[in-house]
A and B are shown apart, each in its own frame.
Chain A
């Protein structure tokens, strides 16, 4: 596994290497995740790709400690994933879960809960262009604005690693661009980004390295340039070329 060198220009890093060992996740005797080994370096942006049902979101949840693996372990900086390490991570869901409060109150809630400087609230919103909407009910924002708020809330916790589970699914190009800008800025500031997406062009724009999943297994991991210029597996080739029939066969 190539360790990402932060091609997108990551500054110093706070994150630690994430290692997955013999990881399995079973539901009703069906093995949904089966990853013998996977190592994600401490910097840069890793894009996790794969068809629906490949286990991308499950892998993210396992690495974030939201669900317990059936077998195997996840090491962060060589140590088993602990509550303190989970606290140093943040996850943005595909469908943002916002509190029934104003935009500013959503950020303030996290700052207060984590004992952070609450005066940063306005500054954080300003950076993502939501300062003018600070007093508006968060759930009345547009889909793109809600997701920007969810990412800002996640970044307000000052995470070492930020997991994003298809954060731009169903959003318009303008919102996608805004979110990619926020994520790229966070990556430049040293936040380790693990980004799940189906959008191949988006993956090309963001990725330093790619992890490709199929049927719960990591079938390919490579630096972004190498992956997009010459994927090694049939399933990745079929996925990138959009040959759905071949993808189904694999």
Chain B
């Protein structure tokens, strides 16, 4: 009989804690909507910078990574296996390590220090590009290799050059490659370690969603941190939905 009385305060505390968390989440959602509806200038600045940095990094990674993935998909050369293993391994690059390496190169004493890029959005774009390029290369290689398996004999029959084959694969695989780009964007927009190190989380200059969330959490401003998290989530979902909509709208024209 004594046990329930002993346990009651613990249960009560847990219930109170749960209620507190729910309250904070409720506050966070309300705050997130409030910030968005009020078109808070600081929030818009952070969102804009986040999109600018991550979309730029995704674009550069795709420009470099998609052709490289296509080349790896259609060519056979000695050492190709280890190259593929390396690229697949680089998909799991820790952001802080990338940030540190970029930092070392861009710092004043580094080989690229003369460019003065440290703690600028450009440095953040460089770091995120390095982070997601292996993802773009590895996933596009897989997508295009599967496509090439289907087309290879027909392309050989048509006596196409390697360049023509790669161009055709990139075009015909464009809808699947959208998803590859999305995977890259998702990784870029969600990472915090690399941009924190090379960007420095400077207000009105290099503060992005993830670094802002980290800052507010460390300050103990959990509702604001959660609100920013909700905005970040909504942002990622909006970009994904936009690409999905674009894909659905055009896929019918080509039968992906």
Number of residue pairs across A and B with beta carbons under 8 Å?
42
Complex Cα gap A110–B159 (Å): 10
Known: A102-B253, A137-B252. A93 touches B153 (CB 8 A): yes
Secondary structure call for the B interface: helix
CB of A205 closer than 8 Å to a CB of B: no
Complex Cα gap A70–B97 (Å): 52
Most buried by A among B150, B157, B172: B157
Known: A83-B159, A87-B159, A109-B168. A100 touches B153 (CB 8 A): no
Most buried by B among A66, A91, A100, A101: A100
CB of B23 closer than 8 Å to a CB of A: no
Give every chain A residue within 8 A of B156 (Cβ-Cβ): 66
Give every chain B residue within 8 A of A102 (Cβ-Cβ): 253-254
- Which of these, B153, B157, B164, B252, contacts A90 with CB under 8 Å? B157
Are A97 and B160 touching (Cβ within 8 A)?
no
A33-68 contacts to B (CB < 8 Å): 64, 66
CB of B40 closer than 8 Å to a CB of A: no
Minimal beta-carbon separation of B172 from chain A (angstroms): 4
Complex Cα gap A140–B251 (Å): 12
Complex Cα gap A157–B160 (Å): 12
CB of B8 closer than 8 Å to a CB of A: no
Give every chain A residue within 8 A of B154 (Cβ-Cβ): 93, 97
Minimal beta-carbon separation of B171 from chain A (angstroms): 8
Give every chain B residue within 8 A of A90 (Cβ-Cβ): 157-158
Give every chain A residue within 8 A of B172 (Cβ-Cβ): 99-101
Give every chain B residue within 8 A of A87 (Cβ-Cβ): 159
CB of A138 closer than 8 Å to a CB of B: yes
Interface string of B135-172 (1 = CB under 8 A from A): 00000000000000011011011111000100010011
Are A100 and B159 touching (Cβ within 8 A)?
no
CB of A113 closer than 8 Å to a CB of B: yes
Give every chain A residue within 8 A of B171 (Cβ-Cβ): 101
B196-255 contacts to A (CB < 8 Å): 252-255
Residue of B nearest to A140 (CB): B255
Most buried by B among A86, A91, A113: A113
CB of A139 closer than 8 Å to a CB of B: yes
Minimal beta-carbon separation of B231 from chain A (angstroms): 37
> What are 24 A-B contacts defined by CB distance under 8 Å?
A64-B157, A66-B153, A66-B156, A83-B159, A86-B159, A90-B157, A90-B158, A91-B157, A97-B153, A99-B151, A99-B172, A100-B172, A100-B254, A100-B256, A101-B172, A102-B253, A109-B168, A110-B158, A113-B158, A113-B160, A137-B254, A137-B255, A139-B255, A157-B158
Task: Give the interface of A toward B (CB within 8 A).
Answer: 64, 66, 83, 86-87, 90-91, 93, 97, 99-102, 109-110, 113-114, 137-140, 157
